[in-house]
Amino acid sequence: MADESPKPVATIPRTSRPMSEALLNEKWDRCLSSLLIRSGLGLSFGIVFSVLLFKRRAWPAFVGLGFGAGRAWEECDNSFKRAAAPSKDGLRVIRP
Amino acid sequence: MLRASISRARPALRSVAPVAAPQWRLAPRFFADKKNLDETVIPQTDPLTTPSNPGTPASPILPPRDLNTAPAPPPRSPHVAAPSASRSAPVEQPATTPPTGPGSASVAPDPKPPKKKRRLFRTLVWLTILSALGYGGGVWYSLVSDNFHDFFTEYIPFGEDAVGYFEEREFRKRFPGRAGTPRSLSALPGTSQQVTIPGNAGLGARPVPAGETAEKSPHMSAVESKPKEAKTVVEPKADKAAEVKKEEPKKEVVAAPEPVAAKPIAQIDHLSVPNAEDPVVQDVVKIVNDLITMVNADPVHGSKYNSALEKAKSELGKVVSDINLMKDNLKKSAEDEIKAAHTQFDAAARELVNRLEVQMHEQELHWKEEYENERENLSQSYKDKLQSELDIAKKVYEQRLKNELLEQSALLQKQFTQAVRDRVESEREGRLGKLNELSSSVHELEQLTAEWNSVVDANLKTQHLVVAVEAVKSSLENQITPKPFITELAALKEIADDDPVVSAAIASINPAAYQRGIPNAGQLVDRFRRVAQEVRKAALLPEDAGVASHLASLAMSKVTFKKSGLAVGQDVEAVLARTEVLLEEGDLDGAAREMNSLQGWAKVLSKDWLSDCRRVLEVRQALDVITTEARLQTLLVD
């Protein structure tokens, strides 16, 4: 059994659809990447703003970073929250 | 159209009309001619006989008168005849006619008046000349013109006779053949004109044929020369009587000889032969009579011939009597001969009859014999026939009897065999029943064997099924990675031979299972371990967790204690521990149930594993069902 196990490990990930146990990890990956991108964007924007408008002050850069990180956080949070509940895609919601 | 047709028709009519017209014109002409001919002919028929007679009889009498009394009239008669003859076709006729001219006869008495007075005579002469001329002219014109002919013949006395005479002459000239016979007669007398006497002086009962008269003519002429002389002598006495009788010459001819013969001398009687029936005798008698009459008429030489005549008469009488005698003799001899012939004939007839009778008798006998023979033959043949028919009938009867006997024997045999069979059957019945039982038992055995065969077959089938199921199971357990097992399932289905249970079991399997294959137990456990790690990460997450709670649970999951064994509790860690235990025990069903009881993110994370578990469970269940089915079949077969 121990000998045979490595092979299936190698084969199973080949499936097109992501495995259910890898869902959370994937979400974490997306969140981190988006955090990086958005915080970096916010930082860069803040830096530009601080240079252009705020006479090279540091806080516009941080604010920008905060905006970016906050935006990424929000997004990540939203994705986690939505993923927890069973997906309602293709279902018709009847409101009273 | 109509006009055209009429115009076309008209020529025909025109052509017809002219044709018809001449016919009409011609027809009357023909008719008129014919009428003339008829008119001429009809009078001729009478004159044919009448004038010829008056011509001829008048001539013998007249010439004497002419000789005696009036030589003058003859020249007148030519006068009268001349104009008619000269103007009509024949001119030379008058030369011959004078002797026949009867008109002159009437003139004959005229010579008497001149003796009286000259004046009267002159007037009379003139009158006669004129009347004769007028008469002649009338006759001539009547010959030319039809109308005048009618008038002349009707109103002028003797006109018809005169005209008829000339017409007849003309007719005779035209057709000499038709009037040949009277002419020849009249022509012969031309030379000797007194031939008419013998024709009338017939003693015989028969009319004398013309040939005979011709033969006799010389005799007659010879004889008649005498009467003429006699007449010339005798006539003065009978002159007036003869003259009176001139108008009817026929009577004169008949009457003349008799008085002439009677008057002078009645010395010689006419030969009278009472039995003269033969024509020859009659002729002879007639000749003799003629001679006698001649002799009688001649008073001068009469006495000379008397003796000779008497002798001749007597001899003739003798001859006649001899003839009669001969006739009688002949008659007698003929009668005798006839009698002899009769007798001979009778004898011959009798002989013939006798012969015939004998023949008939013989024939009768012959026929009788034949009849007898025939009868015997017939009776014999009939007897034979009867005998043969009787024999045949007897034979038939015997045959029938034999047949009946045979039938009876056959029937008896049948009955006997039937009885024997019945008895044997009844005796055999018990043993046969046992045999039947045995056979039935054998049959049952055969059936049993057949059933056993079927059972064996069914067992084989189930065995096959079991083997197939085992094969599927082994293939599923022995696989390293999940492989599709469609072929195995198809083989199983085939072997199951469309078993409803098997097919239903196979249908219950998710198609994804046998298309992609299912993981075996080890693979499931391995995957469960990875799933358990992930589930532990999300084990502490609250409902509707955000990023912060996720981070917290991630961090907390590193530090929490792991439970092991059959942990009590509904938290994720306990469930995982129990599932692990159950998996290790091999209770896949229980493990799946435990995992299914998870909530939230833990369940979401373990979803795939759960579905895998379910597939495997389905397959297992189906295979279990098939194996139980096979087992059930094996059980059912028994």
| Any domain includes B222 | no
Query: Which whole number is the average pLDDT over B324-348?
Result: 88
Q: Tell me whether residues A20 and B541 touch, CB distance under 8 A.
A: no
Count interface pairs A-B at CB distance under 8 A: 71
pLDDT, tens digit, 9 for 90 and up, residues B558-572: 888 888 888 888 888
Task: State whether the Cα torsion B577-B578-B583-B589 is positive or negative.
Answer: negative
**Residue in the block written with tokens 């007075």:** B117
Burial of B135 (0-12, 13-18, 19+ CB in 10 A): buried
Under DSSP, the state recorded for A16 is: S
pLDDT, tens digit, 9 for 90 and up, residues B480-490: 888 888 888 88
pLDDT the model gives residue B93: 46
Residue A58 backbone phi and psi in degrees, to 5: -85, -30
Quick one: B486 and B596 in the same domain?
yes
| Any domain includes B253 | no
Q: Evaluate if residue B227 carries a pLDDT over 80.
A: no
Quick one: B438 and B492 in the same domain?
no
Q: Tell me whether residues A8 and B523 touch, CB distance under 8 A.
A: yes
pLDDT, tens digit, 9 for 90 and up, residues B2-45: 454 544 544 444 444 444 444 444 444 545 544 444 444 444 44
pLDDT, tens digit, 9 for 90 and up, residues B106-165: 444 455 555 567 888 888 899 999 988 988 888 888 888 888 888 888 888 888 888 888
B543 contact residues in A (CB cutoff 8 A): 84
Quick one: B443 and B493 in the same domain?
no
Assign B201 a pLDDT band (cuts: 50, 70, 90): low
Token code pair at residue B448:
């049993």
Token code pair at residue B261:
């013969």
**Residue in the block written with tokens 């599932």:** B579
Query: Which whole number is the average pLDDT over B86-90?
Result: 46
Compute the distance between CA of residue B262 and CA of residue B299 in angstroms, rounded to an integer: 11
pLDDT, tens digit, 9 for 90 and up, residues B157-185: 888 888 888 888 888 888 876 644 444 44
Q: Evaluate if residue B472 carries a pLDDT over 70.
A: yes
Quick one: B492 and B628 in the same domain?
yes
Quick one: B563 and B611 in the same domain?
yes
pLDDT, tens digit, 9 for 90 and up, residues A55-88: 888 888 998 999 999 999 988 888 888 776 666 6
CB contact, 8 Å: A87 with chain B? no
pLDDT, tens digit, 9 for 90 and up, residues B529-538: 888 888 888 8
Residue B164 backbone phi and psi in degrees, to 5: -60, -40
pTM more than 0.80: no
ipTM of the complex as predicted: 0.73
Most B CBs within 10 A among A11, A17, A20, hence the mutation to make, goes to A20
Q: Evaluate if residue B394 carries a pLDDT over 90.
A: yes
Q: Tell me whether residues B608 and A8 touch, CB distance under 8 A.
A: no
Alpha helices of chain A — where are they, by DSSP H? 6-11, 23-52, 59-84
Assign B207 a pLDDT band (cuts: 50, 70, 90): low
B535 contact residues in A (CB cutoff 8 A): 21
pLDDT the model gives residue B390: 95
pLDDT, tens digit, 9 for 90 and up, residues B299-310: 676 677 777 777
Pick the closest to residue B525 from B593, B563, B580, B603 (CA basis).
Answer: B580
Token code pair at residue B341:
């012939």
CB A69, CB B589: distance < 8 Å: no
Q: Which residue would you say has higher pLDDT here, B340 or B218?
A: B340
Q: Evaluate if residue B229 carries a pLDDT over 50.
A: no
pLDDT the model gives residue B441: 94
pLDDT the model gives residue B540: 84
Quick one: B507 and B580 in the same domain?
yes
B544 contact residues in A (CB cutoff 8 A): 81, 84-85
| Any domain includes B437 | yes
pLDDT the model gives residue B572: 87
Token code pair at residue B81:
């005849």
Assign B267 a pLDDT band (cuts: 50, 70, 90): low
Among chain B, residues having any CB pair with chain A shorter than 8 Å are 480-482, 519, 522-523, 526-527, 530-531, 533-535, 537-538, 541, 543-548, 550, 600-601, 604-609
Last residue of a domain, one of B145, B172, B199: B172
Assign B202 a pLDDT band (cuts: 50, 70, 90): low
Helix B279-297 crosses helix B210-244 at what angle (to 10 degrees)? 30
Pick the closest to residue B128 from B84, B73, B64 (CA basis).
Answer: B73
Q: Phi-psi region for residue B520, left (φ > 0), alpha (ψ -120 to 50) or beta?
A: beta
pLDDT the model gives residue B313: 79
Q: What's the length of chain B?
A: 638
CA dihedral B310, B314, B316, B322 (to 10 degrees): 180
- Quote the Cα angle for A35-A40-A43, to 5°: 125
pLDDT the model gives residue B274: 65
Quick one: B556 and B621 in the same domain?
yes
CB B600, CB B541: distance < 8 Å: yes
Q: Is A11 helix (H, G, I), strand (E, B) or coil?
A: helix
Domain count for chain B: 4
- The shortest C-alpha distance from B591 to chain A (Å) reads 17
Q: Which residue would you say has higher pLDDT here, B506 or B243?
A: B506
A83 contact residues in B (CB cutoff 8 A): 601, 604
Query: Which whole number is the average pLDDT over B415-444?
Result: 89
pLDDT the model gives residue B91: 45
pLDDT the model gives residue B379: 94
Q: Tell me whether residues B543 and A76 touch, CB distance under 8 A.
A: no
Q: What is the mean pLDDT of chain B?
A: 73
Question: How large a percentage of chain B has pLDDT more than 90?
Answer: 14
pLDDT the model gives residue B411: 95
Q: Evaluate if residue B76 carries a pLDDT over 80.
A: no
pLDDT the model gives residue B374: 94
Look up the domain containing B451 and give its range. Answer: 359-461
* C-alpha to C-alpha distances, B370 to B361, B382, B384, nearest whole angstrom: 14, 18, 20
pLDDT the model gives residue A44: 92
pLDDT the model gives residue B415: 95
Q: Tell me whether residues B547 and A80 touch, CB distance under 8 A.
A: yes
| Any domain includes B530 | yes
Quick one: B500 and B400 in the same domain?
no
Compute the distance between CA of residue B219 and CA of residue B289 in angstroms, rounded to an integer: 13
Q: Tell me whether residues A20 and B546 touch, CB distance under 8 A.
A: no
Q: Which of B481, B533, B606 sits opposite A20 (nearest CB)?
A: B606
Residues 3-62 of A with CB under 8 A from B: 4-5, 7-9, 11-12, 19-25, 28, 31
Q: Which of B480, B530, B534 sits opposite A24 (nearest CB)?
A: B534
* C-alpha to C-alpha distances, B556 to B442, B529, B541, B550, B573, nearest whole angstrom: 86, 19, 10, 10, 13
Token code pair at residue B435:
């045999």
Residue B478 backbone phi and psi in degrees, to 5: -90, 5
pLDDT the model gives residue B545: 80
Q: Evaluate if residue B88 carries a pLDDT over 80.
A: no
| Any domain includes B264 | no
Quick one: B497 and B531 in the same domain?
yes
Q: Phi-psi region for residue B206, left (φ > 0), alpha (ψ -120 to 50) or beta?
A: beta
| Any domain includes B605 | yes
Q: Tell me whether residues B547 and A84 touch, CB distance under 8 A.
A: no
Quick one: B483 and B629 in the same domain?
yes
pLDDT the model gives residue B108: 47
Assign B495 a pLDDT band (cuts: 50, 70, 90): confident
Quick one: B504 and B628 in the same domain?
yes
B550 contact residues in A (CB cutoff 8 A): 24, 28, 80
Question: How large a percentage of chain B has pLDDT more than 70?
Answer: 65
Q: Evaluate if residue B193 carries a pLDDT over 50.
A: no
CB A82, CB A53: distance < 8 Å: no
Compute the distance between CA of residue B409 and CA of residue B417 in angstroms, rounded to an integer: 12
pLDDT the model gives residue B140: 86
Tally helices (H) and strands (E) across chain B.
24, 0
Q: Is B604 helix (H, G, I), strand (E, B) or coil?
A: helix
pLDDT the model gives residue B630: 82
Compute the distance between CA of residue B194 and CA of residue B59 in angstroms, rounded to an integer: 9
Query: Which whole number is the average pLDDT over A37-52?
Result: 91
- The shortest C-alpha distance from A88 to chain B (Å) reads 14
Q: Evaluate if residue B342 carries a pLDDT over 80.
A: yes
Q: Evaluate if residue B239 carries a pLDDT over 80.
A: no
Assign B382 a pLDDT band (cuts: 50, 70, 90): very high
Q: Which residue would you say has higher pLDDT here, B394 or B181?
A: B394
| Any domain includes B310 | yes
| Any domain includes B14 | no
Highest-pLDDT range among A27-41, B71-85, B307-321: A27-41
Token code pair at residue B72:
């003058």
Last residue of a domain, one of B427, B461, B495: B461
Count of CA atoms in the C-beta half-sphere (13 A) of B354: 6
pLDDT the model gives residue B60: 42
Assign B400 a pLDDT band (cuts: 50, 70, 90): very high
Quick one: B147 and B291 in the same domain?
no
pLDDT the model gives residue B357: 92
